[in-house]
Amino acid sequence: MVADCNDPLALAADLFCEKEMDLESIESSVREILVGIGENPEREGLLRTPHRVAKSYKELLSGYRMDPKALINNAVFDVVYDQMVIVRDIEFASMCEHHMLPFMGRAHVAYVPSDKVIGLSKIPRIVDLFSKRLQVQERMTTQIAEYIDVVLNPKGVAVVVEGLHMCMMLRGVKKQNARMTTSAMLGQFRDDMSTRMEFLDNISRGAEKLHF
Ligand SMILES: [Zn+2]
């Protein structure tokens, strides 16, 4: 549970602070789904499925209740450094809110510090904070950028996310290789073309094609 939900970092993270995830209600709902499908939820292979699904949701949707203070954990430092910091190829897995199917891929994050930097390992944690929720990729991308903006107040933040969506690959149009790219550019990345190009050049260099 989040220790202090009124902390500015927690407020900016848009968390569910009121109650814990109700695993029992998820379990009974999954049992209903099995019945709706026409399955027998009492057969051996399915007996513990509602429990397993509830447990996996707890992990896959843990972003709603991550404690941002613990996550940042004193890893913001005052530094005189005003060059671009880039962390690329951050793997993520999220769940599309329209179909509750996974989408996954990689995120690339950059910022230009004004006077603060953050420990590099914390950037993937911020990606987790927003990916481990029911999401649309566009909103997730914006939330990551805006959160870093709140934490570091940098001169600029850029986030590019590439995702493969199970709901597109397995059903409906069945586009196996349709990769969705979204971006959010704030401050210097929005206003200054050369800053933006430096970032985009960097993340395209040696980039492997996204696949499962
Ligand atoms: Zn979907």
Locate tokens 């196996």: which residue?
A: 176
- Annotation says 188 is catalytic: no
Q: How far is the CA of 97 from the centre of ligand 1 (A)?
A: 6
Closest CA to 12 of 187, 149, 138: 149
Residue 38 Cα, ligand 1 centroid: separation in angstroms?
24
pLDDT reported for residue 173: 67
Establish whether 108 is a catalytic residue: no
| Res 155: pLDDT | 97
CB 104 within 8 A of CB 150: no
User: In terms of Cα–Cα distance, which of 66, 74, 55, 79 is closest to 125?
Assistant: 66
Active site residue 17: no
Q: Find the catalytic residue in 96, 108, 135, 188.
A: 96
Which residue out of 5, 17, 39, 99 is catalytically annotated?
Answer: 99
Mean pLDDT by 10 residues, the chain (212 residues): 81 90 97 98 97 97 92 87 94 96 97 94 97 98 97 97 92 73 97 97 86 68
pTM of full prediction above 0.75? yes
- In the prediction, which pLDDT does 43 show? 97
